[in-house]
Structure 1
Amino acid sequence: MTGPSATFGFRDVDASEKAGLVRGVFDRVARRYDLMNDLMSGGVHRLWKDAVAARLNPQPGETILDVAGGTGDMARRFARMARRAQERRGGPDARVFVIDYNAEMIAAGRERGFEPEMAWAVGDAQRLPLPDACADAYVISFGIRNVTDISAALREARRVLKPGGRFLCLEFSRPTTEALRKLYDAYSFKVIPEIGARVAGDRDSYQYLVESIRRFPDQRRFAAMMGEAGFSRAGFTNYTGGVAALHTGWAI
């Protein structure tokens, strides 16, 4: 490597190469992405996502960014919740923007159908095609570990949020007990790539996804990175014993 490095699973690669490598992974998994999430987690990812949506509590008139939003799984939740709140209290329509670096993921999401509040765009979490202070909330779910520069993505999230805007990041994290870590490691490295091979015909992509989880900062380190990027009250809530964690903060 001649320039700065970035992680790609357990490998360190030239930072300029990571985006293309990650794009290749998601090009390959896009059509089976939602099915694989159900199989790999036994459906538990749906409970985590419901909890994130409840924590966000979308409201009429809000502009919500679902970054690395892929097939729009989270954005649909936000749009429906905002519409229910609008039916109860009135107010303008919410706007939910799904932004993802991978066009194949967006295409797969649009084929599933979408809510009228939703719009879609291809964009880089490190350089969002949006003006400063334009959003009430920024959500990124199982996506930030795939960006080349996590700190840059956090600073960009802060840039596009209005003062007082909410930041929510749902990501795989570090189990809180040694016993759970060992069990989770055994499942991740032995079972998930095998599911990928049998169902999606792609062991390598799911091997990368498992490895990328292990390279991601733990809960406390990521909360510290949020503070460094300018978020106040950075904190986290563990789900399923820390297998996943919701990180939250406020733009100041």
Structure 2
Amino acid sequence: MSTRSDPYDSTDFDIREFTLTAQGAFRDELQLDSFATTPLDDDSLRLLRHLGRLESATMEHLRNLLVTATHKDARVTAFLVTWAFEKFWIADAIDAVLQAHGLPRLKEVDEGPRRHSASDAVERRGPITRAIEAMGKGVPIVAVHMTTGLVDEWVLGDAYDVLVERAADPALSAVVARIRTVKSRHERFFDIESRWRLDDSPRAVKQTRASLATAVWPIGAVERADAERTFFDTIVYGGAAGHVRADAVGDRVAGLPGLDPSIGSAVTRKLTA
């Protein structure tokens, strides 16, 4: 059992402060003029657009989470609502970069057909099915949601790293740094909540292991176009460098309480499949 006396200790993460200081629109803070003379290459813009779509895909994810026991945890619900709000404005900042290149906004471009596979079908379970399945899982399912949120932050973090490295553009680096400032609090909350919940409950560990073994990364990818997902997987986790990044994610998963190298390897395989 966890030695932590109070899982809601505000010294770990002040949820009230987080909700009161939620990041709204910040596109006006971005220095975008240089893109007119030194635009990003096509692949960088494509990756950026895909990241924007992933950042904006929060409502469909919340719909699936809040039909489970997660919605009964006021602290987690307060975080998730604010998290979704901040991610909306991250996507808006990405829109600003696209528009600075004379390109349409995220939602104004047709994505193309989605991928259809057995693993995707599991992830596309609707809220009614998820609610029924969650009835027997109880509170430990909150650990599942916190851990998948944490792994998702790691995966998106890799994608932003690749974006900055391949573009080598100071203006883009500044935009991504600003986005990371917002996302750093998201990762911290998921990390704190995931660790104490896994440490506190063998049932939480069991459910989390099962979920991570079948999850599709990043969160929301199943709703994106097949071609864009393949592009993301190739550019972020393809090749020797990509496999090193995937292995690093697997190692971080294996280091979480109650998890081990076998589940870390399962996550790595999903990233590089």
TM-score by length of 2: 0.28
Choose between structure 1 and 2: higher helix proportion.
Answer: 2
Choose between structure 1 and 2: higher strand proportion.
Answer: 1
TM-score by length of 1: 0.30
Structure with the greater relative contact order (CA < 8 A, sep ≥ 6): 1 or 2?
2
Q: Which has the larger radius of gyration?
A: 2
